[in-house]
Amino acid sequence: MLSFRFLPLVFKYLFRHQARSLLTLGGVAAAMFLFYSVQAMQQGVRDATRVTADDTRLVVYRQDRYCPFTSNLPQDYARRIAAIPGVKAVVPVSIAVNNCRTGLDVVTFRGVPKDAFESGFFGKVRLTQGSLESWKSRNDAALVGERLAKRRSLKPGDRLDIGGITISVAGILDSAEPQDQNAAYTHIDFIQRASGNKVGIVTQFNVAVQEPGQLGSVAKAIDDEFRNAQEPTATWSEKMFVARVATDIIEIANFAHWLGWGCIVGVFALVGNAIVLSVRDRMRDHAVMQTLGYSQGLIAKLVIAESMALSLTGGLIGVMAGVALTHWGNFSLSMEGLSIHVHASAGSILMGLALSAFTGVSAGLFPAWLTWQREISACFRAV
């Protein structure tokens, strides 16, 4: 281990060639920013599609339909679904989106009955601003997800006009569910009329089952109930439904995984090149240091420490820039009315910093080995 008393010497050598060091720091920061952004997107995909033992939600959709514009089910299906053994609650949902394709700023309107929030179906939702009474008192009122509100700078009392639908913001809601954070909840009859006067027609049914182990059997029972109906259904667990719809986003995230590791290789090359050049410029300095009593092993450790400091500093700048962007940007990848939030956990931050340090150490091993192998006489003869 290198003693802390040598750190001032490490940083002195690090910034002897300021232009080269700053350019290397900039390259490392850019690469680690991209790596963190990829991790943030992958974290969002994992959170939206990870099936857990506590999942109790099903989504009932029109069979062979994918976009909300094409899924039309009679609203009175809710009564028949509620009668199926194992079903705890049913909420009919009418969905309208301003863009059915993949995008970063898609607004999803979800029309639900007035008593949907009071029934306890949305148990993880809480209002941070506004009130439920204000939402119930106006037909065009909406409860807006926190991410959507931040992205659009909305607050209670504001009006939002998009895609031919005009709503009045009655409250801002926070939820642990990704889909709630990027949606505007309105009254179901309001969305039905705004979507082409589809009164009595809904996009889907959100179903809560009594026990997590009943998801499969209840889903099969629902589809069997409407197998011969004019509008047959297809039922999935909520996480499987998101994974099925967001196939394109998941494929992009899988490709970005390799892009992220390519950034780590780029960091290795940048830091390694900078340290090799730095060591070559200091060959006579190293000879003087050996003459003064510095061992070859200690000088090699100083080279590795310089490499790690360069990589870790650049990595810290890049990761913190990524944290700031994802936090303040409130980005969400949306497709067909479903959202995957771009965010990363503390583990992703630590992983980025750990990889920066590891890459720095790895990149410094070869130039450190060259320094350790070089004799004092060879250093003095260097030009």
Per-residue pLDDT of 162-205, as tens digits, reads 777 888 999 898 877 777 788 888 998 888 888 776 788 898 89
DSSP 214: G
pTM of the model: 0.71
Instruction: Decide if pLDDT at 383 tops 50.
Output: no
309: pLDDT strictly greater than 60: yes
pLDDT at res. 9: 65
Between 146 and 67, the more confident residue is 146
Give the pLDDT mean for 41-50: 75
CA atoms of 360 and 231, how far apart (whole Å): 60
| Dihedral angle of Cα 201, 203, 209, 215, to the nearest 10 degrees | 130
At 57, is the pLDDT very low, low, confident or very high (cuts 50, 70, 90)? confident
3 state DSSP class of 119: coil
Answer whether 97's CB lies under 8 Å from 68's CB. yes
Nearest alpha carbon to residue 161 among 181, 176, 140: 140
Q: How far apart are CA 91 and CA 83, in angstroms?
A: 13
CA-to-CA dists, residue 98 to 101, 154, 338, angstroms? 9, 17, 12
State residue 81's pLDDT score: 92
Amino acid at 198: K
* 143-148 mean pLDDT: 87
Higher pLDDT, 111 or 248: 111
Name the one residue in this structure whose structure tokens are 């999935």. Answer: 236
- Residue 354 pLDDT > 60: yes
Cα 278 from chain centroid (whole Å): 38
